[in-house]
C-alpha cells in the first residue's frame, strides 16, 4: 500500500492517469458499440460519458495552467522584492561606508586623543592624534594594552578604569610627564554602550590644555614672543582655550585650506554653498503652519569630498564672517522661493526657519538687509522665521529684543532654539515676541530613560500652550520617542527619525 502511494506521487504518473483513463474509456465505447450492434441509445449514452471525461481532462489541464501562471507571478514578485532588498542592502552598506569615512575624517582632524578600550583594557579604536602623540603605528596600537600605549600616563588613568567599567563617566586632569615638555591633559572616560551594565568598554578622550602647553613652551624659549610661536606651532594663545589649534587642524587636515578666509570669501562670491532643509513635522491636525523646514547650510566641497557638514563654521566664526553667511542664506532662500513661485503660482511656500549667528543678531544692518530683501522680491515675511539660540538670548538680550522688534511688525516670526540648554526658565524670554520654542535635543533624547527630562518636557509644553507659543522637539530619532512626545502634547517634532536633511530642491 505504501509503495502504491509513493508510485502515485510521481508527477508523470498523475499526468498520465487522465490520458490512460480516457483511452480506456474510448476503447470501452468502441467495444460497446460493436457488441451492441450500434444501438443509438447506447451510442448516445457512451458518447456523453466520453464527452464528460474529455471535459474533465480539459478542466484539469486548465487548472494546472492557472496554477503554473499563479506560481510564475508569485516567483516574479519574489524576484523583484529580492532585487529591491538587495538594492537597499547595497545602499545601506554604501551609506554606512560613507558615514564611517566622514567620522574617520573628523576624528583624525581633532587634536584630542580618542581611544576605545575594551574590558581587558586593549585598544580597539584610535584616531590619528594617538599615533602622533605615542609615535606608534596604527597596526601596532590596535589590540595593544592601554599601559603600553600611554606609558607613564597610564599611572594616572588606571585608578579610574574600575569606576568607568562600572558604568560611571569620569573626568579628571593630570600632567603627562616623560616627554620633552610636560603637558597637562584633561581626561574623560565615557562608558559604552550607554546604560548597559557592565559596558563593553569605554571611550578615553585626552585633551591637552593648550594654554598650559603654551606657557611651558614659552618658558623653554623665552626669547620668542608667545603669539608668533603659537601661530607657527598651531597652538592657541592664552585665553583662546585651544581654538587656534582646532582651527588649524580642521582646516589643514580636513579641508586642506592654506588660506581659510580667502577660501570662504571665494565660496561666497562664487555661490559654492548649498541650501539643505530638514522637515519639521506637525503632530496636530489644526496647526496653522503644516509645512515647516529648517534651513541648513552646506559647502559644495564638503559634499564633493564626503566631509562632515559644517566644518567651515568654526573658521567663519574665527574670521568674523558669520553675518556674511547668514546674509547669503536669507538672500538665496528668498530667491529660490520666488523662482519656484514663478514656475508654479499654486505652490504653497513652507515656513523656512533660518538659524542666526550672534554677530547677525548684534548687527543693526542685518535687520535692514532682511527688510530690503523682503521688499525687493515681494516675499511674504510670514514665511520667514529666524531661530536664535537660548545662550545668545541670555547673553545678548537687548540686541535680540531690538532685532525682533525691527522685523516683527513686518510679519517675520521667531524661534527660541535649544531651549533648556542653559536653564529651564521663561524669565529670559520676557519682552521677546517669539512664536516658537524648540526644546534642546539633549532633553528630548533622554525623556524615555530620565524622569526629570520627561518632566521638563511636560512643563515646557504646558507653559507654551498657556502663553500661546508653539513647541518643537528636536533630535527625535526613534518611534518610541515620537509616541511619547505625542502623549506629552508637543506641536512639532524634528530629527533623523522624522526626516534627514536634503537639498532644498528635493525636500520642498
Q: Looking at residue 7, what is its pLDDT?
A: 56
pTM of the complete model: 0.55
CB 378 within 8 A of CB 410: no
Taking 60 as the threshold, does the pLDDT of residue 156 lie above it? yes
**Distance (Å, whole) CA 84 – CA 79:** 9
Reported as type and span, the H/E element at residue 115 is: strand 113-118
Taking 70 as the threshold, does the pLDDT of residue 38 lie above it? no
Q: Looking at residue 232, what is its pLDDT?
A: 36
110's CB contacts (< 8 A; 6+ apart) are: 127, 129, 246, 249, 250
CB 214 within 8 A of CB 188: no
The C-alpha cell of 49 is what?
460519458
* Sequential DSSP letters for 282-310: ESSTT-S---EEEEEEEEHHHHHTTPPTT
Q: Looking at residue 107, what is its pLDDT?
A: 73
* pLDDT tens for each residue of 348-384: 999 999 999 999 999 999 999 999 999 999 999 999 9
Q: Looking at residue 3, what is its pLDDT?
A: 64
Q: Looking at residue 111, what is its pLDDT?
A: 81
Alpha-carbon torsion angle 365, 366, 368, 369, nearest 10: 120
Q: What value, to the nearest 5°, has the Cα angle with vertex 327 and ends 322 and 330?
A: 125
Which among 252, 301, 300, 302 has a CA at the least distance from the CA of 274? 300
Q: Looking at residue 99, what is its pLDDT?
A: 66
Q: Looking at residue 29, what is its pLDDT?
A: 62
Verify cis geometry, omega within 30 degrees of 0, for the bond prior to 357: no
User: Of residues 5 and 398, which shows the higher confidence score?
Assistant: 398
Report residue 489's pLDDT band, with 50, 70 and 90 as the boundaries: very high
Q: Looking at residue 178, what is its pLDDT?
A: 56
* pLDDT tens for each residue of 164-173: 888 888 888 8
**Distance (Å, whole) CA 297 – CA 352:** 13
Q: Looking at residue 9, what is its pLDDT?
A: 57
Distance of alpha carbon 208 from its chain centroid, rounded? 30
Report residue 466's pLDDT band, with 50, 70 and 90 as the boundaries: very high
- Lowest-confidence pick of 116-130, 218-232, 265-279, 376-390: 218-232
Taking 90 as the threshold, does the pLDDT of residue 100 lie above it? no
**Distance (Å, whole) CA 429 – CA 423:** 12
Which among 286, 302, 281, 417 has a CA at the least distance from the CA of 351? 281
Q: Looking at residue 128, what is its pLDDT?
A: 87
Report residue 21's pLDDT band, with 50, 70 and 90 as the boundaries: low
Q: Looking at residue 68, what is its pLDDT?
A: 80
Amino acid at each position: 500500500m505504501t509503495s502504491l502511494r509513493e508510485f502515485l506521487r510521481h508527477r508523470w504518473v498523475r499526468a498520465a492517469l487522465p490520458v490512460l483513463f480516457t483511452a480506456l474509456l474510448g476503447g470501452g465505447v468502441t467495444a460497446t458499440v460493436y457488441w451492441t450492434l450500434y444501438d443509438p441509445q447506447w451510442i448516445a449514452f457512451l458518447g456523453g460519458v466520453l464527452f464528460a471525461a474529455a471535459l474533465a481532462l480539459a478542466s484539469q489541464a486548465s487548472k494546472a495552467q492557472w496554477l503554473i501562471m499563479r506560481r510564475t507571478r508569485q516567483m516574479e514578485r519574489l524576484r523583484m522584492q529580492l532585487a529591491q532588498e538587495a538594492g537597499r542592502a547595497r545602499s545601506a552598506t554604501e551609506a554606512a561606508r560613507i558615514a564611517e569615512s566622514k567620522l574617520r575624517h573628523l576624528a583624525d582632524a581633532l587634536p584630542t586623543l580618542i581611544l576605545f578600550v575594551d574590558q581587558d583594557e586593549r585598544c580597539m579604536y584610535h584616531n590619528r592624534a594617538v599615533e602622533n602623540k605615542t609615535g606608534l603605528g596604527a597596526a601596532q596600537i590596535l589590540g595593544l594594552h592601554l599601559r603600553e600605549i600611554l606609558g607613564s600616563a597610564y599611572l594616572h588613568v588606571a585608578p579610574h578604569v574600575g569606576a568607568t567599567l562600572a558604568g560611571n563617566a569620569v573626568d579628571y586632569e593630570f600632567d603627562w610627564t616623560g616627554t620633552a615638555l610636560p603637558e597637562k591633559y584633561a581626561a574623560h572616560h565615557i562608558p559604552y554602550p550607554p546604560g548597559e551594565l557592565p559596558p563593553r568598554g569605554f571611550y578615553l578622550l585626552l585633551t591637552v590644555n593648550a594654554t598650559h602647553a603654551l606657557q611651558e613652551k614659552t618658558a623653554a624659549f623665552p626669547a620668542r614672543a608667545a603669539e608668533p610661536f603659537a601661530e607657527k606651532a598651531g597652538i592657541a594663545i592664552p585665553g583662546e582655550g585651544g581654538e587656534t589649534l582646532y582651527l588649524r587642524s580642521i582646516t589643514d587636515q580636513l579641508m586642506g585650506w592654506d588660506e581659510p578666509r580667502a577660501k570662504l570669501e571665494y565660496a561666497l562670491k562664487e555661490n559654492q554653498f548649498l541650501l539643505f532643509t530638514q522637515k519639521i513635522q506637525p503632530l496636530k491636525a489644526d496647526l496653522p503652519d503644516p509645512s515647516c523646514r529648517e534651513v541648513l547650510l552646506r559647502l559644495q566641497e564638503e559634499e564633493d569630498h564626503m566631509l562632515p557638514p559644517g566644518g567651515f563654521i568654526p573658521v567663519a566664526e574665527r574670521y568674523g564672517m558669520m553675518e556674511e553667511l547668514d546674509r547669503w542664506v536669507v538672500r538665496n532662500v528668498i530667491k529660490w522661493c520666488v523662482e519656484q513661485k514663478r514656475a508654479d503660482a499654486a505652490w504653497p511656500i513652507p515656513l523656512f526657519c533660518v538659524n542666526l549667528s550672534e554677530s547677525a543678531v548684534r548687527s543693526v544692518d542685518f535687520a535692514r538687509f532682511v527688510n530690503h530683501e523682503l521688499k525687493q522680491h515681494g516675499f511674504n515675511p510670514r514665511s520667514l522665521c529666524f531661530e536664535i539660540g537660548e545662550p545668545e538670548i541670555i547673553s545678548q538680550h537687548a540686541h535680540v529684543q531690538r532685532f525682533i522688534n525691527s522685523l516683527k511688525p513686518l510679519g517675520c516670526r521667531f524661534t527660541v532654539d535649544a531651549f533648556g540648554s542653559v536653564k529651564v526658565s521663561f524669565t529670559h524670554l520676557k519682552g521677546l515676541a517669539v512664536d516658537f520654542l524648540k526644546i534642546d535635543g539633549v532633553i528630548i533624547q533622554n525623556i524615555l530613560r530620565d524622569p526629570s527630562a520627561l518632566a521638563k518636557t511636560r512643563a515646557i509644553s504646558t507653559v507654551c500652550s498657556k502663553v500661546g507659543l508653539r513647541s518643537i522637539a528636536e533630535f527625535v530619532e526613534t518611534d518610541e520617542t515620537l509616541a511619547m512626545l505625542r502623549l506629552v502634547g508637543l506641536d512639532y517634532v524634528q530629527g533623523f527619525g522624522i526626516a534627514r536633511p536634503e537639498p532644498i530642491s528635493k525636500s520642498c
